């Protein structure tokens, strides 16, 4: 190689290196880590981040007028909304505002959060300009620090499973549940408490999420379970077991869909018209949704205090 040619090569080397670097970055942009959990800034902004984090961890206790069950955000978004494949908050933050088929319009992040309160928490949404929504949004913004916007980051949402190899089966699902889940969530999915405090959340029944929540959809539940359960030792269930147990979990009654209109059949057609959506389907001789309690959980008792 002549000196001139070498010079020429060297001249281009930095450009090539830069190009390689930026290509690398383009690929790497898909994966993301939030700032360390204990690195919340010590200033006024950080105070609001902390507040949002606290709402996230103790939602039911701190927002008793908005949460109708005893669930907390962290029950479905593990590690304070930080964990990948557990619908982490940094993954969600960068995808809003977004069009949602669920309600047919572009949703702000605030409206999306309000949906969680209405459905997953079986409660009443805080106002979009309330301190709770501001704090949770601030916490999410901080978690997403330095993330690109409008990108589905690796670990966003729940990691989808391939369609089940065998048709989902209630009996198999029950066996998986009794063997792997009941010790924490109770034999009737009622969750567990200690000294009156909920430790393990209810998976169905009156104290769980209602029929409008995303977790009642079997693909969501199966994906969550596969990646995250049993807590502390995930990945020990096969895909088929995750599908079967998700099917079993969602074959039980839970509070009514707050969007309920006319009757279960009409509500199903309008909001639940999918193959494996069990709302309005007959399971073990019972049409799911027909015996649901009104949504709102403990908030209903507050609205109509019981006489002594």
Partner 1 sequence: MTYRTENTIRRRLLFACMAAASWTVHAADSGQIQQGSEIALEGASGQPACVSCHGAKGEGLPAAGYPYLAGQPAQYMIEQLAHFADGSRKQPIMQPMAKALSEEQRAAVAAYYASLPPVFDRGTLAHLVQTYPATDTGAWLAHRGSENPYIPACVQCHGPGGIGVEPVFPALAGQPEQYLKAQLTAMKSGDRGEDTHKLMTHLARNLSDEQIAQVSTYFATGVLKPVGNVEVQQKGEVK
Beta-bridge partner residues of 107:
98
Quick one: 105 exposed, middle or buried, by C-beta within 10 A (0-12, 13-18, 19+)? exposed
**51: Cα separation from own chain's centroid:** 20
Distance CA 286, CA 229 (A): 28
Of the candidates 295, 259, 265, 211, the one whose C-alpha atom is nearest the C-alpha of residue 103 is: 259
**Between 280 and 296, CB nearer to partner 1:** 296
Is residue 50 a contact point for partner 1 (CB under 8 A)?
Answer: yes
In this chain, which of 145, 188, 236, 266 binds partner 1, going by CB under 8 A? 236
**Token pair in block for residue 136:** 């949770």
In this chain, which of 30, 79, 273, 294 binds partner 1, going by CB under 8 A? 79
Q: Which residue has the tokens 């309920």?
A: 260
Distance CA 169, CA 243 (A): 9
Q: Which residues contact 300 (CB under 8 A, 6 or more apart)?
A: 68, 294
**Between 48 and 264, CB nearer to partner 1:** 48
Q: How many residues bind partner 1 (CB under 8 A)?
A: 37
At residue 235, the 3 state secondary structure works out as coil
Is residue 35 a contact point for partner 1 (CB under 8 A)?
Answer: no
Length of the chain: 308
**E-assigned strands of the chain?**
98-100, 105-107, 192-194, 197-200, 282-283, 286-287
Report the chain's terminal Cα–Cα distance, integer Å.
Answer: 97
**Between 174 and 192, CB nearer to partner 1:** 192
**Between 58 and 282, CB nearer to partner 1:** 58
Stretch that binds partner 1, among 9-17, 72-80, 209-217, 240-248 (CB under 8 A): 72-80
Stretch that binds partner 1, among 11-19, 143-151, 167-175, 178-186 (CB under 8 A): 178-186
Is residue 196 a contact point for partner 1 (CB under 8 A)?
Answer: yes
In this chain, which of 25, 43, 149, 233 binds partner 1, going by CB under 8 A? 233
In this chain, which of 77, 82, 112, 118 binds partner 1, going by CB under 8 A? 82
Is residue 286 a contact point for partner 1 (CB under 8 A)?
Answer: no
**Between 46 and 100, CB nearer to partner 1:** 46
Question: Closest separation between CB of residue 230 and partner 1, Å?
Answer: 5
Is residue 62 a contact point for partner 1 (CB under 8 A)?
Answer: yes
Can you give the binding site for partner 1, defined by CB under 8 A? 37-38, 40, 50, 53-54, 57-58, 60-65, 70, 78-80, 82-83, 180, 183-184, 192, 194-200, 230-233, 236, 298
């Amino acid at each position: 190689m002549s000196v001139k040619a070498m010079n020429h090569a060297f001249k281009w080397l930095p450009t090539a290196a830069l190009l390689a670097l930026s290509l690398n970055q383009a690929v790497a942009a898909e994966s993301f880590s939030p700032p360390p959990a204990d690195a919340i800034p010590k200033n006024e902004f950080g105070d609001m981040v902390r507040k949002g984090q606290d709402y996230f961890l103790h939602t039911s206790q701190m927002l008793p007028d908005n949460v109708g069950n005893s669930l907390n955000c962290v029950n479905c978004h593990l590690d304070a909304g930080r964990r990948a494949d557990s619908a982490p908050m940094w993954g969600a933050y960068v995808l809003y505002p977004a069009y949602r088929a669920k309600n047919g319009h572009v949703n702000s992040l605030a409206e999306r959060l309000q949906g969680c309160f209405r459905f997953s928490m079986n409660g009443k949404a805080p106002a979009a300009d309330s301190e709770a929504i501001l704090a949770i949004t601030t916490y999410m913004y901080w978690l997403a620090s330095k993330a690109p916007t409008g990108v589905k980051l690796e670990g966003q949402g729940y990691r989808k499973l391939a369609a089940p190899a065998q048709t989902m089966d209630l009996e198999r699902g029950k066996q998986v549940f009794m063997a792997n889940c009941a010790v924490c969530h109770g034999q009737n999915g009622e969750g567990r408490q200690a000294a009156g405090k909920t430790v393990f959340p209810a998976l169905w029944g009156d104290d769980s999420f209602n029929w409008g929540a995303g977790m009642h959809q079997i693909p969501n539940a199966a994906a969550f379970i596969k990646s995250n359960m049993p807590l502390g030792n995930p990945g020990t269930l096969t895909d088929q077991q995750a599908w079967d147990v998700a099917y079993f979990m969602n074959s039980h009654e839970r509070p009514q869909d707050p969007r309920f209109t006319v009757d279960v059949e009409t509500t199903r057609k309008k909001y639940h018209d999918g193959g494996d959506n069990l709302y309005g389907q007959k399971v073990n001789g019972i049409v799911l949704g027909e015996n649901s309690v009104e949504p709102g959980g403990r908030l209903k008792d507050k609205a109509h205090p019981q006489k002594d």
